[in-house]
Structure 1
């Protein structure tokens, strides 16, 4: 039972739509070694881009994805 929860915990952080231009990458928290950011790569990249362009829609999108992932992960750890 605990192993199932741990497996589901990790899966909660996978979102294939978080990075539509990078089909091989879907982890919301950890970045690939080629990324400039170590954690929350989508949110960090969107924030950096928004500072330059003023387009905050992508920041909101990635923040929503991160919040959903954390909430999903928390629900997998509830006592069964």
Structure 2
């Protein structure tokens, strides 16, 4: 579930942070290894299918707000799916909760993948 994937990611991030703290900055290969891992981490949150209803926005954690063009959103797919859901007619709200559930499953899988990316070869 999402909580487990999130906790796995948090644990991996703490371990990765400790690895960076202890890094020999004079070793260019070690610095390169960190940079590569950060690049792969960013890619781990890119969904080629895009966000629900916004296929051209593919980053699952950060995207421009669909409600205010001056802002960005964290977890934009969830925010979009949950936006104003309580004011929808019952059938539309039921369908929207299915979108929320599906996107949460996608986020869970990508969060797990990001944790694995951080864990690999520390």
**What TM-score, normalized to structure 1?**
0.79
Return 5+ residue gaps in structure 2 as ranges. 1-32
1:7 to 2:47 alignment: no
| Separation in structure 1 between the aligned mates of residue 110 and residue 102 of structure 2, nearest angstrom | 12
Instruction: Name the one with the larger strand percent.
Output: 2
> CA 1:7 to 1:66, structure 2 compared with 1: closer, same or farther past 3 Å?
same
Of residues 45, 49, 74 in structure 2, which corresponds to 1:39?
74
The 1:59–1:19 alpha-carbon spacing in structure 2 relative to 1, beyond 3 Å, is same
More off after superposition, 11-20 vs 61-70 = 11-20
Question: Comparing both chains, which one has the higher relative contact order based on Cα–Cα distances under 8 Å and sequence gaps of 6 or more?
Answer: 2
Larger radius of gyration: 2
Cα RMSD of the aligned pairs, angstroms, is 2.0
TM norm structure 2? 0.55
For residues 11-34 of structure 1, what are the alpha-carbon distances to aligned partners after superposition, in whole Å with 9 as ceiling and x for unaligned? 0110022426433210101121x4
Pick which of 16-25 and 5-14 moved more. Answer: 16-25
Aligned to 1:72: 113
Residue 28 of structure 1 pairs with residue 53 of structure 2: no
